[in-house]
Amino acid sequence: MHISTLGFVSSVDSSARTADLSHQFGSRDSLHARWWRFVRAYPLLLSCSLVLLCFAALAIFAPAVSPYDPNEQSLADSLSAPSALHWLGTDQGGRDILSRTIFGARVSMSVGFGAMVLGGALSTLVGGVSGFVGGWFDSILQRIVDAFLSIPSLIFLMTLLSIVGTSLTTLIVSIGLWSVVASCRTVRSSVVTVAQRPFVESAKAVGAAPARVFFAHVLPNVVAPCIVVSTLIFVYAVLTEAALSFLGFGIAPPAASWGGMLSGDSRALMLVAPWIGLSPGIALSIVVIAVNLLGDDLRDFLDPSLRGR
């Protein structure tokens, strides 16, 4: 009798503990509290992500949300100030600036994202292998990087694009490849630091293959700087595309791009009609600032040593 009573009490106590754990970790209140703590800890991470998602949605659904055809001209509405018909005014050809700004997001976001993926992957691979292997291989590779860094990036890109032609694909590939030169050293320095830690030396001592040591022990510990490098490549790509379009080496008109909207005849008319450059300039600034802040907060979120600060 005593034993059965103890068993009953034990089962009730176990059920109570199970219910308490279920309430603590699986309830809506607990998930809501965790989400709120995350929001308070990383407000910039969420707000900047939302801003970039909004621009990405505008770029994807541009034909649906754009009020006008971005290339439709109406000389009767040339240089019209912002109004109910044209919220951000029109340019010298009577084209709606809001529509061109929305379609311009397609070019900037595509170039930024494509160059970030290509440049980030190659920077991680080239910088990581260079820092991990070391020796003569690292010395030769870094001297090649020094040689390319001595060339101004815009001059190199303008020369390359004048040879291969300007298109969205060539812009993404050329900017992505050039970003490897400028960013692989950041990854290399992080890999050199991690490769000297005891757990990496222990993995080598037990006979782990170099590839396994690199991909299983070194690379996961340099994720934070690689994320920051990728966000910087995105910013560099967006600004470089705008600069190349400004100089006439970007997307060929009449296609809309933020840099192209700031170049050509628009520069001479900005004093008369300042709304021509205001919209693409503000959009470009918002995207660049959001990506920079997102990279900083991602570094803090992914680096365990900085999470408590």
In tens, the pLDDT along 280-296 reads: 889 988 998 988 888 87
The answer to which of 52-56, 177-181, 192-196, 298-302 has the lowest mean pLDDT is: 298-302
- Give domain status of residue 13, yes or no: no
- Give domain status of residue 294, yes or no: yes
Q: CB-based burial of residue 193 (10 Å sphere; 0-12 exposed, 13-18 middle, 19+ buried)?
A: middle
CATH of the domain at 82: 1.10.3720.10
| Torsion of Cα atoms, 299 then 300 then 303 then 307, to 10° | -170
pLDDT of amino acid 301 = 73
Q: CB-based burial of residue 152 (10 Å sphere; 0-12 exposed, 13-18 middle, 19+ buried)?
A: exposed
Any bridge partners for residue 90, and if so which?
Answer: 96
With both helix axes pointing from N to C terminus, report the angle between 168-195 and 97-133 in degrees, rounded to the nearest 10.
40
Tokens of 50: 């939302």
- Give domain status of residue 25, yes or no: no
Return the percentage of the chain with pLDDT > 90, whole number. 14
How many beta carbons lie within 10 A of that of residue 73, not counting itself?
15
- Give domain status of residue 256, yes or no: yes
- Give domain status of residue 188, yes or no: yes
Average pLDDT over residues 68-94: 85
Q: Which residue has tokens 């600060």?
A: 309
Total domains present in the chain: 1
283: nearest Cα among 70, 87, 104: 104
- Predicted TM-score of the model (pTM): 0.78
| pLDDT tens digits along 172-207 | 999 999 999 888 888 999 899 888 888 888 888 888
- Give domain status of residue 248, yes or no: yes
Give the domain range for residue 204. Answer: 52-306
Any bridge partners for residue 96, and if so which?
Answer: 90
Q: What is the DSSP letter of 195?
A: H
Average pLDDT over residues 205-224: 86
CB 284 within 8 A of CB 277: no
- Give domain status of residue 143, yes or no: yes
- Give domain status of residue 8, yes or no: no
